[in-house]
Amino acid sequence: MARKIPHGEFRNKERTKLKLIQAVGEIIRTQGYTKLGVNRIADTAGVSKKLIYRYFGNADKLIETYIRGEDYWMAFYDSLRQLADHKDDDYGKKTIEMTLKNLYEHMSNSQEAQKIILWEISEKSQLMFEICNDREKLGATILAKMDPLFDKTDIDIRGILALILGGIYYIVLHSNSTGGSFCEIENENRKNRISRSIETILEWAYNEAEKQAK
């Protein structure tokens, strides 16, 4: 018969796990992903490194737990999947518009998310490869909502979304690095202008697709 874990012991375990996960984020944010290691994570969390192995198996699993919680697509996987599965009559327009706007907001406000993207594009990593594949699988469910409309046209909605997504990532990383304007758009105006531009691009793409599909 399995030992029943006392409530206090369970609470202490969860607190320790949270400390370790938060320590990974602090190291990524302040020192970079290259500094991640068992000893540094444990020291930053203020706990024994043995607890990393006890609660996560190894440091890689701990880091994966942190990244999957911080990555926009993974953190909101269930919510986005529900949106993708939701029946609507606009071929996913509202879903993708909200998803892109929220991505910009999330990336702008999370230094850790920015560091993760930099890690992803600067070094080959099995973990990042797996997360990218999971993102693609989620994206495929959202894109499938658009296919009945765009498959009948010459509008490449995947190409358009790739440019928007790439633009969001680059604009946020550029702004964080330089702190200056981008295409003569200052930081204080950027969120609203990017948001409106996402709406404009999608509105054009959908309107043009509907015209061609008739």
Q: Which CATH number fits domain 7-59: 3.10.580.10, 1.10.10.60, 2.60.40.3120, 1.10.10.10?
A: 1.10.10.60
Rounded alpha-carbon distances, angstroms, from residue 5 to 9, 12, 21, 141, 201:
7, 11, 22, 40, 54
Q: Is 152 helix (H, G, I), strand (E, B) or coil?
A: coil
What is the C-alpha separation between 30 and 196, in angstroms, rounded? 33
Please report which confidence band the pLDDT of residue 9 belongs to, taking 50, 70 and 90 as the band edges: very low
| Residue 65 CB-density burial (10 A; 0-12 exposed, 13-18 middle, 19+ buried) | middle
Q: What is the mean pLDDT of the chain?
A: 86
Total-model pTM: 0.81
Q: Compute the average pLDDT of residues 98-115.
A: 90
Position 150 pLDDT exceeds 60: yes
The CA-based diameter of the chain, rounded to the nearest angstrom, is 67
More confident position, 4 or 88: 88
Q: Is 46 left (phi over 0), alpha (psi -120 to 50) or beta?
A: left
pLDDT in tens, 180-193: 778 888 877 888 99
Rg (CA), the chain: 21
Give the tokens for residue 56.
């996560």
* Percentage of the chain exceeding pLDDT 90: 43
